[in-house]
């Protein structure tokens, strides 16, 4: 029996789109107000449109979202706007939590694998994430919160994630399954899927992933 970790952000929770929405709601509005009041005559209002300008470089996430620094972004994410960003985010796909819940029940009934939901959280994002899980009706029994991206590997044999920093820190004896996004295209993994639904619906793929020998890179299309 394998311990399969499923990352929350980018897999079940659409955090990037929600961050863009919250950015436009607050940061752009504040910039507009400062310009109108003459506090920043040279100011530039930059609203985020992910369809026109996709987010592609995770290492420069604070620059893409117009934060002055990583610390400023983290303060906004995990303190000031944690509930709006993490709690009020949408699911990545319609009804994916319902499908995930059924998958959890099937795995439990079969005694096949242990499913662990993993997420990088800090300060106020933890209760915000519990709110997200509650409002979507998520029935995951095993949840782990970490403050470092690489620590998501601690309690699992296989990890399904979209985060390039987490993928880049994969231990040599574990299996990485990458869910494709605009910001992880250049990051390697043992397996690549379009969404968690590929893993849920394909028993043969699950068998390949959980019995995979770490010898090379394999992409599942």
Is 33 a domain residue? yes
Residues 130, 79 share a domain: no
CA distances from 31 to 5, 26, 27, 37 (A): 40, 9, 6, 10
Residues 192, 128 share a domain: yes
- If one compares 28 and 79, the residue with the highest pLDDT of the two is 79
Counted residue by residue, the chain has a size of 221
Q: What is the pLDDT of residue 45?
A: 60
Residues 113, 71 share a domain: no
Token digits for 90? 């949408």
Per-residue model confidence as pLDDT tens digits over 6-27 = 999 999 999 999 999 998 888 7
Residues 128, 72 share a domain: no
Domain total of the chain: 2
Is 62 a domain residue? yes
The pLDDT of residue 141 is above 90: yes
Q: Which domain holds residue 65?
A: 15-87
Per-residue model confidence as pLDDT tens digits over 94-118 = 999 999 999 999 988 777 789 999 9
Residues 21, 10 share a domain: no
Q: What is the CATH number of the domain that holds 129?
A: 3.40.50.1000
- The CA-CA-CA angle for residues 126, 76, 26, to 5°, reads 120
Q: What is the pLDDT of residue 40?
A: 57
């Amino acid at each position: 029996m394998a311990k399969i970790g499923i990352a929350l952000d980018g897999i079940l929770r659409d955090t990037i789109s929600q961050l863009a929405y919250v950015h436009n709601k607050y940061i752009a509005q504040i910039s507009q107000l400062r310009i109108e009041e003459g506090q920043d005559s040279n100011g530039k209002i930059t609203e985020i449109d992910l369809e026109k300008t996709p987010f592609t470089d995770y290492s420069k996430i604070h620059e893409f979202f117009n934060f002055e620094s990583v610390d400023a972004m983290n303060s906004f994410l995990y303190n000031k706007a944690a509930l709006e960003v993490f709690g009020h985010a949408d699911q990545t796909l319609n009804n994916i939590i319902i499908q995930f819940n059924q998958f959890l029940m099937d795995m439990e009934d079969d005694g096949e694998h242990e499913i662990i939901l993993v997420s990088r959280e800090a300060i106020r994002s933890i209760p915000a994430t519990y709110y997200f899980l509650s409002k979507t009706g998520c029935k995951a029994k095993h949840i782990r919160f970490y403050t470092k991206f690489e620590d998501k590997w601690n309690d699992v044999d296989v990890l399904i994630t979209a985060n390039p920093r987490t993928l880049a820190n994969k231990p040599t004896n574990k299996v990485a399954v990458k869910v494709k996004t605009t910001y992880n295209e250049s990051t390697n993994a043992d397996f690549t899927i379009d969404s968690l639904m590929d893993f849920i619906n394909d028993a043969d793929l699950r068998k390949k992933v959980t019995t995979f020998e770490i010898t090379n890179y394999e992409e599942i299309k």
